[in-house]
Amino acid sequence: SQQGEEDPQALSIQEGENATMNCSYKTSINNLQWYRQNSGRGLVHLILIRSNEREKHSGRLRVTLDTSKKSSSLLITASRAADTASYFCATAPTGGFKTIFGAGTRLFVKA
Amino acid sequence: SAVISQKPSRDICQRGTSLTIQCQVDSQVTMMFWYRQQPGQSLTLIATANQGSEATYESGFVIDKFPISRPNLTFSTLTVSNMSPEDSSIYLCSVEEGGMGTEAFFGQGTRLTVV
């Protein structure tokens, strides 16, 4: 079964607003990653957070990880129209042999 | 960071035919991964390709339908055989340079439409 479940499935906001996407997973993990996909192209890695980290920043991105709740969130601040894309969380389960991708959130930022 | 060249970027194929997708990596990597992404869906792992050995297929995917070659540490192909409209998807290859569960690098994807 799929490891990561994301919500919302779709999100539409105005340029300048913040966008928050959530990811939940089921088993213990080594790390959790967030990826971005534009228009069905290849995925681009955004950020990796390890299981012993609680928060990580990269530019306008902020990722949190709560291993007790088995959840993570991705916050994009001051969104831009160019942020319009699908965002996927991906987990590396402890002792696992493959990265498992969540269902994704489709973000639409209106100019 | 690895750079992956994947081709073709898209194709429209007749049912019953086969399509081979190629991925070339600019560095040597032990494992390459092939994913399928059906319209509006997430990525589903098809198989893991190791150089010099048979690919390892995930549940629901078989070698006869998705034969994979991995002749060296920088190249792999995935063939979608005897295609039907249900095979219409985006196919993606990726590598994880740092080992399993590390940052993955993806090819640009192949958008396949079967008519």
Confidence of residue A4 (pLDDT cuts 50, 70, 90): low
- Note whether A104 contacts B42, CB cutoff 8 Å: yes
Tell me how far apart the alpha carbons of residues A75 and A59 are, in angstroms, rounded to a whole number. Answer: 11
Tell me the residues of chain B between 40 and 69 that have a Cβ less than 8 Å away from chain A.
Answer: 41-43, 45, 48
For residue range A52-80, what is the model confidence (pLDDT) as tens digits? 999 999 999 999 999 999 999 999 999 99
How many residues comprise chain A?
111
Q: Which helix (H) or strand (E) holds B4?
A: strand B4-7
Instruction: Give residue A1's pLDDT.
Output: 41
- Note whether B108 contacts A31, CB cutoff 8 Å: no
- Contact with chain A for residue B111, Cβ under 8 A: yes
Give the C-alpha distances (Å, rounded to integers) separating B48 from A13, A49, A51, A75, B94: 38, 24, 25, 32, 10
- Note whether B106 contacts A88, CB cutoff 8 Å: no
| C-alpha dihedral (B72, B76, B82, B85), degrees to nearest 10 | 170
- Contact with chain B for residue A30, Cβ under 8 A: yes
Among the listed ranges A1-5, A60-64, A86-90, which one has the minimum average pLDDT value?
A1-5
Are the C-beta atoms of A15 and A111 separated by less than 8 Å? yes
CB-CB neighbours of A64 under 10 Å:
16
